[in-house]
């Protein structure tokens, strides 16, 4: 089975030779694996056997796609957001609309003139579209984009204090994501459209689920619809305790939910699988907050085996992944343990690395 | 019916202009600032905390109430200072070194202020020594440490140790909060308490200073 066939089959709940895998690595973990496997960092996921390749063409490009070599390295993205590498992650140090007047906010323009540059990110992954499952990330789609522009405090306060302004900002964010989605779905042979919008914290949703339904969800729904109308799978990323709106996500057409943080209230992956598994596939669930950085190799293997057993019940609908980027402090042994539980041995990974070296 | 009912209700519903009018009106009537605080603003925020805790309020509603609270507090502050009214306790809060996520820390500050605490916000990416310095300067009773990233959790231990090294550990209580944290982690690093949300942080802070 090619990776492309494997992921499609899993999403259709058809038989697969092994569970599909899609891990997100911190650049330092990638570097560590590259040294161990003696291959270039950009070939690590190929050696590991991951099935999906994806690029960010929206705001996430600025956060994840630009890697500063040194702490303190910074850049201002096309949206005017300033990012700085602090403790190994790009974090926002300046929100362009944090202190802007209402009029300035109303005048703010999204970087439509940069769309062609942004979607160029897809070129290298599209070369592998015959064998690999290809995704395109157009997120953040609505509220998350708004708070990257005006700060989380202001974006959240506006939801209660100035619904009109909130709606306008959400509409602008949603329209930009929708435009990106229309272009990439039309132009590229992708397998899924990746949407995302962080609206939940560790304990619960940031805003009342009813507010989300009324003023945020319609913008997200528009983006999802673009993918569905093109006959693509649509994946959706939202960290945290999103349980109250999972039925709504299914309703608007989301096929795959990520990252499934099992330690948040209501987010036990097995419970979610039982309740929503007929309509929704899942990607994620391997805990990045405690298990991966602090657990033993045996803990990780046992937990991954348990999750695979339960999450693939009913014929599939699961993609093995950590519940976000694998934290850089995770031991390489723990990384291999996840793959081993999925039937990808260390030997197989080293063999593939050796092939990669010989081709080079 | 108390004369402060409307003020309390306006805090709960986040009507900042009306909170300003009412607070000023009470001051003009020569009401004691401490009474306006204790019977209007603080009970209002206690209801906000309860509604948050029970899942009726979410962060936007809490921020709206906080905005109204601040209008009232700003008007009362000179009067409270003039009459030498002491806060419940003084808390220095900040997001630890390496981490600049601040919404959790801001919500805790809001709820502590609404609970009658003096809050000094140290900001984000705060080094262990900076926390110690600020605690000394403010004569703080409590230090509140926040973190979102697992990678910055060790900064909490470093901060606790900085207080020990400086001989300040016995003078302050240290409480922690943030997405990846637990009571067990608080115990492990020698902190005095953990709170899962901003509302519980007020209860924890009161417990730590014996109020």
Looking at residue B99, its pLDDT comes to 86
Please say whether the structural domain B5-82 has been given the CATH code 1.20.120.1150.
Answer: no
Please judge whether B150 and A293 are an interchain contact, meaning their C-beta atoms are less than 8 angstroms apart: yes
Looking at residue B202, its pLDDT comes to 95
Within the 6-45 window of chain B, which residues sit less than 8 Å (CB to CB) from chain A? 14
Comparing CB atoms, the residue among B60, B102, B151 nearest residue A327 is B151
pLDDT tier, A360 (very low <50, low <70, confident <90, very high otherwise): low
- Chain B: closest CA distance from residue A188 (Å): 35
pLDDT tier, B97 (very low <50, low <70, confident <90, very high otherwise): very high
Domain that holds residue A74: 57-258
Looking at residue A124, its pLDDT comes to 94
Query: Would residue A125 count as lying in a domain?
Result: yes
Please judge whether B100 and A91 are an interchain contact, meaning their C-beta atoms are less than 8 angstroms apart: yes
Please judge whether B100 and A86 are an interchain contact, meaning their C-beta atoms are less than 8 angstroms apart: yes
Instruction: Report the distance separating Cα B20 and Cα B1, nearest Å.
Output: 21
Query: Would residue A263 count as lying in a domain?
Result: no
Query: Would residue A264 count as lying in a domain?
Result: no
**Which residues make up the CATH 3.40.50.280 domain(s) of chain B?**
90-208
Q: Which of A179, A175, A253 is nearest to A219 (CA)?
A: A175
Q: Could you report the per-residue pLDDT of A111-152, keeping only the tens digit for each? A: 999 999 999 999 999 999 999 999 999 999 999 999 999 999
pLDDT above 70 (res A43): yes
Residues A105 and A184 in one domain: yes
SS3 state of residue A191: coil
**CB contact B125 to A (< 8 Å):** yes
Looking at residue B100, its pLDDT comes to 85
**CB contact A290 to B (< 8 Å):** yes
ipTM of the complex: 0.93
Higher-scoring residue by pLDDT: A294, A359: A294
Query: Would residue A187 count as lying in a domain?
Result: yes
Question: Which of A258, A293, A320 is the last residue in one of the domains?
Answer: A258
pLDDT above 80 (res A237): yes
Instruction: Report the distance separating Cα B104 and Cα B97, nearest Å.
Output: 15
Number of structural domains in chain A: 2
Please judge whether A157 and B99 are an interchain contact, meaning their C-beta atoms are less than 8 angstroms apart: no
Comparing CB atoms, the residue among A153, A160, A289 nearest residue B150 is A289
Q: Could you report the per-residue pLDDT of B165-204, keeping only the tens digit for each? A: 999 999 999 999 998 899 999 999 999 999 999 999 999 9
Residues A155 and A287 in one domain: no
- A325: tokens are 């980027």
Written as one string, the DSSP assignment of B47-78 is HHHHHHHTTS--HHHHHHHHHHHHHHHHHHHH
pLDDT above 70 (res A16): yes
- Chain A: closest CA distance from residue B110 (Å): 12
CATH number reported for the structural domain that contains residue A61 in this entry: 3.20.20.210
Looking at residue A266, its pLDDT comes to 97
Mean per-residue pLDDT over chain A, rounded? 96
On chain A, the residues whose CB falls within 8 A of the CB of B150 are 288-289, 293, 327, 329
- Mean pLDDT of the region A41-68: 94
Q: Could you report the per-residue pLDDT of A151-185, keeping only the tens digit for each? A: 999 999 999 999 999 999 999 999 999 999 999 99
pLDDT above 90 (res B148): no
**Which residues make up the CATH 1.10.1240.10 domain(s) of chain B?**
5-82
The two beta strands, A82-86 and A74-76, are: antiparallel
Query: Would residue A152 count as lying in a domain?
Result: yes
CB B107, CB B59: distance < 8 Å = yes
Residues A138 and A153 in one domain: yes
Query: Would residue A106 count as lying in a domain?
Result: yes
CB B201, CB B177: distance < 8 Å = yes
Residues A90 and A226 in one domain: yes
Residues A201 and A285 in one domain: no
Residues A46 and A61 in one domain: no
Residues A209 and A279 in one domain: no
- B90-208: CATH topology is Rossmann fold (3.40.50)
């Amino acid at each position: 089975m090619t990776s492309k066939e494997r992921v499609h089959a899993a999403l259709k709940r058809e038989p697969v030779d092994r569970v599909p895998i899609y891990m997100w690595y911190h650049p330092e973990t990638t570097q560590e694996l590259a040294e161990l496997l003696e291959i270039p960092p950009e070939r690590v996921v190929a050696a590991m056997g991951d099935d999906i390749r994806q690029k960010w063409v929206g705001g996430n490009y600025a956060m994840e796609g630009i890697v500063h070599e040194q702490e303190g390295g910074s850049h201002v993205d096309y949206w005017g957001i300033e990012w700085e590498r602090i403790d190994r992650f790009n974090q926002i140090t300046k929100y362009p609309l944090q202190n802007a007047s209402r009029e300035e906010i109303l005048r703010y323009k999204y970087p439509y003139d940069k769309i062609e540059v942004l979607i160029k990110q897809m070129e290298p992954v599209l070369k592998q579209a015959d064998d690999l499952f290809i995704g395109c990330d157009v997120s953040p789609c609505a509220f998350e984009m708004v708070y990257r522009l005006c700060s989380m405090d202001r974006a959240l306060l506006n939801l209660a204090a100035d619904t009109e302004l909130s709606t306008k900002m959400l509409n602008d964010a949603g329209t930009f994501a929708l435009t990106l989605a229309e272009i990439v779905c039309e132009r590229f042979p992708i397998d899924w459209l990746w949407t995302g919008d962080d609206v939940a914290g560790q304990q619960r949703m940031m805003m009342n689920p009813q507010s989300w339904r009324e003023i945020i969800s319609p913008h997200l729904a528009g983006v999802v619809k673009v993918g569905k109308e093109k006959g693509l799978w649509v994946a959706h990323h939202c960290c945290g305790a999103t349980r109250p709106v999972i039925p709504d996500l299914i309703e608007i057409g989301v096929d795959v939910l990520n990252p499934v943080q099992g330690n948040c209230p209501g987010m036990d992956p097995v419970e979610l699988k039982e309740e929503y598994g007929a309509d929704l596939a899942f990607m994620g669930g391997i805990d990045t907050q405690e298990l991966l950085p602090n657990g033993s190799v045996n803990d990780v293997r046992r937990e991954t085996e348990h999750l695979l057993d339960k999450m693939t019940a009913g014929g599939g609908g699961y993609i093995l992944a950590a519940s976000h980027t694998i934290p850089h402090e995770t031991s390489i042994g723990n990384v291999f343990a996840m793959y081993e539980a999925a039937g990808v041995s260390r030997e197989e990974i080293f063999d593939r690395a050796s092939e990669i070296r010989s081709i080079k | 019916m108390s004369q402060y009912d409307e003020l309390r209700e306006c805090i709960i519903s986040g009507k900042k202009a009306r909170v300003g009018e009412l607070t000023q009106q009470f001051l003009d009537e020569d009401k004691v600032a401490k009474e306006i605080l204790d019977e209007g603003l603080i009970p209002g925020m206690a209801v906000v905390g309860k509604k948050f805790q029970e899942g009726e309020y979410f962060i936007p509603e809490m921020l709206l109430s906080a905005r109204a609270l601040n209008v009232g507090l700003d008007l009362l502050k000179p009067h409270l200072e003039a009459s030498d009214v002491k806060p419940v306790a003084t808390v220095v809060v900040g997001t630890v070194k390496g981490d600049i996520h601040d919404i959790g820390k801001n919500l805790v500050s809001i709820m502590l202020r609404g609970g009658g605490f003096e809050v000094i916000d140290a900001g984000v990416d705060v080094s262990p020594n900076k926390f110690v310095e600020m605690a000394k300067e403010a004569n703080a009773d409590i230090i509140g440490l926040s973190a979102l990233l697992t990678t910055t959790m060790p900064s909490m231990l470093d901060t606790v140790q900085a207080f020990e090294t400086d001989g300040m550990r016995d003078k302050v209580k240290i409480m922690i909060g943030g997405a990846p944290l637990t009571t067990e982690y608080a115990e492990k690093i020698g902190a005095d308490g953990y709170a899962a949300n901003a509302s519980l942080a007020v209860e924890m802070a009161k417990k730590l200073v014996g109020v």
